[in-house]
Structure 1
Amino acid sequence: MTPAARISAAIEVLADIDARRRPATDALKDWGLAHRFAGSKDRAAIASLVYDALRRKASAAWIMGENTPRAIVLGMLRLQRGLGARDIAALCSGERFAPEPLAENERERLEKADLSGAPAHVAGDFPDWIEPSLQRLFGEDLAPEMQALATRAPLDLRVNTLKVSSREEAHDALPHLGAVETPLSPLGLRIMPGEDGRGPAVQSEPEFLKGWIEIQDEGSQLVALLSGARPGEQVVDLCAGGGGKTLALAAMMENHGQIYATDNDARRLAPIHDRLTRAGVRNVQVRTPRAKADAVTDLDGRMDCVLVDAPCTGIGTWRRNPDAKWRLRPGSLETRRKEQATVLDRAAALVKPGGRIVYITCSILPEENDDALSAFMERHEGFASKPVAQVLGAVGLTHLADVVRPTAHGLQMTPLKTGTDGFYAAVLVRKP
């Protein structure tokens, strides 16, 4: 397919997403099934165009003066990919499979491409109804923070110290991937996306299959480290899902002590068993709930650490899931807040006196972070948040103090400040 034909395809996919209100992955899959002549490189390039358009949907529509799939793709080519009006016009020739030629007003708007005077939710490409919440956290930094959340994300790897002696050893084994050491996590390697937005097929690498590395955002690595999990401790990963942070905790604990991994949705636990085996983890019990029965009742009051990777809106992952931002609704936030309260209350029963709850979200909304913890501590008088400086000092991550955004109860990481996904973390200590 020609570059122009790929642009036409991206416009078609965006129209399908709008008409049927469904995830981009589904629309792209259906397009590929209906156009089997398109090769893997074509499909990857089209997906990249679609995701870039979704990243810049509001700002692209603003500069083009309309909110159609065509306008959004054209505006994205100007804002996200830096093409000039002349280059875009050359792609829109109207020839076979190419988009229709630019109208005069389209050409004028592409030449101007002016976001000055645009509202914050347009300049930052996010739904306008969450602006008051974001303003509470970011203040004058709102637009640049959200613009950073609209960029492409790198592919980060965590080196598994249960299988390999050092990050350097893993790095030296993967020279062909072009990986560099992550700046904040002592365990991370980073691979920047290619021109098409894709990274290498890491899962097929021998080192991945041997369990040397795991795919995990640097921010996720850091919040796991902030738990301070130590060999010999008793730990519950209460929202373990596929096990990414469970694996990180096991490596921190050097396979000594015990981790109980559970989740209220048994289906989410399905991948964890194979991942534990591949990573060489031996100190994890997977507790699968049955018929909605609590799988960790026998552990109440015994845990040194309860990790709560809480259900949330996932706003902090918008670099990786740009279509999710436009599907977010106020009702979703309220549902997540209720779920967060439920899981925090469950964690309170598990942790022993003197123990700690490590609360994590991949959100940047105060309602899901500090507000959730304030409400929790009103319900449970025996808990207090640990000062950020003490949390960082206890785990040897004092260098984070210069880049994270301290909050009332914890810390916030963002693409602008830390180069990671948008993670929040706080440590709550139960009084002895």
Structure 2
Amino acid sequence: MSKNVREAALEVLEQVEKNQSYSNLLLNHTIEKYEIKGPDVGLLTELTYGSIQRKMTLDYYLKPFIRKKVENWVRLLLHLSLYQMLYLDRVPERAAIHEAVEIDKKRGHKGIAGLVNGILRSIQREGVPCLDEISNEEERISIETSHPLWLVNRWSKQFGREKTRSMCETNVQAPLQSARTNLTKATRDEVLNMLQDEGLDVRTSEMIPEGIVSLKGNLAKSKAYKEGYITVQDESSMAVAYALDLQKEQMILDACAAPGGKTTHIAERLNNTGVVEALDLHKHKVALIKQNADRLQLTNVTTHTLDSRKANELFKEECFDRILVDAPCSGLGVVRRKPDIKYAKNEKDLNSLQRIQLEILNRVAPLLKKGGILVYSTCTVDQIENDGTVQQFLKEHHDFEPAHLNTPEALQAFKQEDYKLQIFPQDFGGDGFFISSFRKKG
């Protein structure tokens, strides 16, 4: 099967909105389904993510030009076309309009094609409305960067307006892909050479000693990836294994492990010694952890399909040297990679997630040895969700105390206090991430 890239992009946008499907998973499925290859993969990715990232802005621009209610697919096609006209220099406006009309003819009728053509031609002639007309600052940030107003208001209260604006502006920029070198198999320089020999444009990470950043080329499609020399992982996420301050032969619990990026990083930093017990609630996700460990030729990872709140049914008290709770969270630090997240969440979700995080921490805490380290991390930036959980945990567990948070040197600057770190997307281009460390007294 083959399909025009713009038709494929429209199909993804429809599925995301109709079924609330994850755009990244749908995109991968669509690329395989329609055998999209080469530069078309990049264009499809840009059109899909870009249209979702800028959805609220595009709606604002379209509003004066849409005189009557249109079908949902027509509105999404207008998003797709306007995104190309406004944000993609390499796509001529006439080409974007022509493609939209051709899709209309296939899917609708002449009336729809005429309507879409008329709207896009009017925008081409008159230009889009000016965002400066929005007088309220938070509302302007919301529309300009396509973040729900409740979220902008919440972040403005937590971090101030300028930091919020900077974060929201970063969130609509495409992130670079990064990977972690498997140091049990090769050095970072050796892997860099491998990737460059394959034709990828890569550089070393400035933040993580084993990190690699791709400027051009898909690391996950490389021979180095298939042969277990690298794992695709965000630079911020790589800091978590450092926080555990690992020593060879230790027993480690990774309580919320899938798909296994941090699990395998822990296993590598143990130099394939000790044991990493990896838990996840879903069987198919546990299979991904196992696949990753096998690909990387790691023999010290054991997987279990188990709700981490029931970990005490499987393990004895005080049997682990280190425990990682990379908790289920709102995911608001990874908006650039999963743009649909920001539209799917609400404030109530954040409150319920905090309860689940505390439940997990409370259940795994007895499994840690005295003197052991417990690390709590999330891929979100929300202050109440992160700091709130930390403070509540310390309040309820007098047998734990804040512990020095071990990080690569370049990340020291992002610590809030000695035991916790908050990374924002605008800090160095990594995901928004929170990491904190506690020691069990005794």
Residues 138 and 145 in structure 1, CA contact (< 8 A), matched pair in contact too: no
Residues 1:172 and 1:137: Cα distance change in structure 2 (over 3 Å): farther
Identity %: 23
**Within the alignment, does 1:156 sit opposite 2:178 as a pair?**
yes
**Within the alignment, does 1:69 sit opposite 2:76 as a pair?**
yes
Residues 85 and 96 in structure 2, CA contact (< 8 A), matched pair in contact too: no
- Mapped to 1, the partners of 2:250 and 2:361 lie a distance apart of 20
Residues 160 and 279 in structure 1, CA contact (< 8 A), matched pair in contact too: yes
TM-score (norm 1): 0.83
Aligned partner of 1:146 among 168, 171, 185? 168
CA-to-partner distance for each residue in 1:393-432, whole Å, 9 max, x for gaps?
A: x45x232233x26269621112210211111111112222
Amino acid at match of 1:149: N
Which residue of structure 2 aligns with residue 14 of structure 1?
A: 13
Residues 89 and 102 in structure 1, CA contact (< 8 A), matched pair in contact too: no
Which residue of structure 2 aligns with residue 366 of structure 1?
A: 383
Matches within 5 A, 1:17-56: 17-24=16-23, 42=40, 45-56=43-54
Residues 1:299 and 1:38: Cα distance change in structure 2 (over 3 Å): closer
Deviation at 1:345, TM superposition (A): 0.6
SS in 2 for 1:259: strand
CA-to-partner distance for each residue in 1:87-144, whole Å, 9 max, x for gaps?
A: 4255314764486244565236636654574522223322222234322443121011
SS in 1 for 2:333: helix
Deviation at 1:331, TM superposition (A): 4.0
**Which segments of 5 or more consecutive residues in structure 1 lack a partner in the other structure?**
194-198
Deviation at 1:185, TM superposition (A): 0.7
CA-to-partner distance for each residue in 1:56-107, whole Å, 9 max, x for gaps?
A: 11222233336942453344335543579xx425531476448624456523
Name whichever structure is richer in helix by fraction.
2
Residues 1:185 and 1:296: Cα distance change in structure 2 (over 3 Å): farther
Residues 1:212 and 1:22: Cα distance change in structure 2 (over 3 Å): closer
- Mapped to 1, the partners of 2:169 and 2:83 lie a distance apart of 13
Matches within 5 A, 1:217-228: 217-228=234-245
Residues 1:269 and 1:423: Cα distance change in structure 2 (over 3 Å): same
Which residue of structure 2 aligns with residue 207 of structure 1?
A: 224
Residues 182 and 189 in structure 1, CA contact (< 8 A), matched pair in contact too: yes
Task: State the aligned residue count.
Answer: 412
**Within the alignment, does 1:121 sit opposite 2:119 as a pair?**
no
- Mapped to 1, the partners of 2:144 and 2:419 lie a distance apart of 29
The 10-residue stretch of structure 1 (322-331 or 46-55) with the greater mean CA deviation from structure 2: 322-331
Which residue of structure 2 aligns with residue 81 of structure 1?
A: 88
Matches within 5 A, 1:32-431: 42=40, 45-65=43-63, 68-77=75-84, 79-82=86-89, 87-89=92-94, 91-93=96-98, 96-97=102-103, 100-102=117-119, 105-107=122-124, 110=127, 114=131, 117=134, 119-139=140-160, 140-164=162-186, 166-175=187-196, 176-192=199-215, 199-200=217-218, 202-289=219-306, 294=311, 297-386=314-403, 390-391=404-405, 394-395=406-407, 397-402=408-413, 404=414, 406=416, 410-431=420-441
**Which segments of 5 or more consecutive residues in structure 2 lack a partner in the other structure?**
67-74, 105-115
- Mapped to 2, the partners of 1:376 and 1:171 lie a distance apart of 42
Deviation at 1:40, TM superposition (A): 7.3
Residues 333 and 433 in structure 2, CA contact (< 8 A), matched pair in contact too: yes
Deviation at 1:334, TM superposition (A): 3.2
Deviation at 1:327, TM superposition (A): 1.8
Deviation at 1:186, TM superposition (A): 0.6
Residues 1:418 and 1:227: Cα distance change in structure 2 (over 3 Å): farther
SS in 2 for 1:420: coil
The 10-residue stretch of structure 1 (298-307 or 90-99) with the greater mean CA deviation from structure 2: 90-99
- Mapped to 2, the partners of 1:211 and 1:38 lie a distance apart of 26
Which residue of structure 1 aligns with residue 107 of structure 2?
A: none
Amino acid at match of 1:422: G
Amino acid at match of 1:122: I
Deviation at 1:297, TM superposition (A): 4.1
- Mapped to 2, the partners of 1:380 and 1:131 lie a distance apart of 33
CA-to-partner distance for each residue in 1:369-404, whole Å, 9 max, x for gaps?
A: 111111111211222323xxx42xx45x232233x2
- Mapped to 1, the partners of 2:401 and 2:132 lie a distance apart of 44
- Mapped to 1, the partners of 2:56 and 2:264 lie a distance apart of 38
SS in 2 for 1:417: helix
- Mapped to 1, the partners of 2:334 and 2:359 lie a distance apart of 23
Amino acid at match of 1:142: T
Residues 160 and 212 in structure 1, CA contact (< 8 A), matched pair in contact too: yes
- Mapped to 2, the partners of 1:31 and 1:69 lie a distance apart of 17
